[in-house]
Amino acid sequence: MTYLDHAATTPLHPEAIAAMSAQFGLVGNANSLHGPGRAARRVVEESREAVAAAFGARPSHVVFTGGGTEADNLAVKGLFWARREQDPRRVRIVAARIEHHAVLDTLFWLEQHEGAELTWLPVEPDGSVRPESLEAALAPSPETVALVTVMWANNEVGTVLPVPELAAIAHRYDVPMHSDAIQAAGHLPVDFTASGLDAMTITGHKLGGPIGVGALLLGREVRLTALQHGGGQERDVRSGTLDTPAIAGFAAAATAAKADRAAEFKRLSALRDRLIAGVLAAVPDAVLSGPPIDGAGPGAALGAAGTPAVPDRLPGIAHFCFPGCEGDSLLLLLDARGISCSTGSACSAGIAQPSHVLLAMGAGEDLARGSLRFSLGRTSTDADVDALLEALPAVVTRARAAGLS
């Protein structure tokens, strides 16, 4: 199998497996006062410290959740409700249409059921958002805004957004900002405190941890309304018995990702650039999505940490549109050859829809339907790229023939 879908989920890191295995044979609820409970609590709190250290936060900022979707919902709904309770005028949410569905569908739900008013930031053709567009959205009536939410890096095309600059603008207008940093967290030097964010979402399975655990990094002074109620285990904003083995695995993966990040950034950037060049050579009319690879992107001007100060593209994502093809057809034809990737399309009621990210970037519907994302990770090799480049020309030819029939 050639696995090129690391942005969907990436293999467990050996250190995460070891950390979880050490807990599976033990018993103890981290909120129990007896010995086994205290032992579980110690694992949870040491893990909280490790996650905080990996992402430039304090342990008190870390609210463990059941994954990224829960953390996004908690941040967006919780901030909206808390701000509206403080001031009923604050019903506007400022966002961009390139968000992951965990944020995007939460926004639509708040609009439909809670009276939220959505203000959409314009998206550049490369998938970015300009800071001046946020200024323009906030300046006329900041007193009506509940929050700003803009992702740190896009999960489809890999564009890195200027989150610290956006957060600084939001704060000038006394507006809290949340960012979904799920794709960025394993690959970029994501620093919660330095970013100026009020809330930030991360998850385990995108960086070598287990599925089913994530965290919301939440400023200590930020008011948040809880989504679910019960024991109030996590700062009274997230109730539920903590999954000690999963949290231990999450912390181990986050620590390993931070230690390997600089070297992996260089390695994956080079592998990604080779993949991009190979695809464009094999299918000359393929269209690369996101920022161009022209020597001025993330491979240039490396800083002391080994990564660019302001990279414009994630090191492991290469997204293309193939004119005359359906993305689903390409995906299945590649899958039949043992190559796993993903399509930029979302399926609703069995009907393929063009990627909302590409449409927001200005792509036409026909082009947006023929998109594929190839994403690399810790286990990716040159052999994976070779396998794709060998299979792709025949797959594209067959997909185009099927589209004409």
Question: What does the alpha-carbon distance between residue 256 and residue 13 come to, in Å, rounded to a whole number?
Answer: 8
Q: At what angle do helices 382-404 and 244-282 cross, to 10 degrees?
A: 60
Cα of 348 vs its chain's centroid, Å: 21
Give the distance between the most distant pair of CA atoms in the chain.
69
How far lies 337's CA from each of 2, 4, 19, 395, in Å? 9, 13, 35, 9
CA 21 to centroid of chain Cα atoms: 27
Report yes or no: 107 and 93 within 8 Å, Cβ to Cβ.
yes
Phi, psi of 96 (to 5 degrees): -120, 150
Rounded Cα distance between 338 and 360, Å, is: 32
Q: What is the 3-state secondary structure (H, E, C) of 245-294?
A: HHHHHHHHHHHHHHHHHHHHHHHHHHHHHHHHHHHHHHCCCCEECCCCCC
Among candidate residues 321, 325, 341, 347, the one labeled active-site is 347
- Distance from C-alpha of 61 to C-alpha of 122, rounded to nearest angstrom: 31
The number of CA neighbours under 13 Å toward the Cβ of 70 is 20
Beta-bridge partners for 215: 64, 202
Question: 325-329: which pairs have CB atoms within 8 A and are 24 or more residues apart?
Answer: 325/370, 325/396, 325/399, 325/400, 325/403, 326/352, 326/369, 326/370, 326/399, 326/402, 326/403, 327/352, 327/369, 327/370, 327/371, 327/372, 328/352, 329/399, 329/402, 329/403
Decide if 68 contacts 182 (C-beta within 8 A).
yes
Per the rule left: phi > 0, alpha: psi between -120 and 50, beta: everything else, 348 is beta
Phi and psi angles of residue 68, each rounded to the nearest 5 degrees, phi first: -70, -40
Cα–Cα distance measured from residue 242 to residue 64, given in angstroms and rounded to the nearest whole number: 8
* H helix intervals, 115-199: 131-138, 163-172, 192-195
Q: Is 341 one of the catalytic residues?
A: no
Active-site residue set? 347
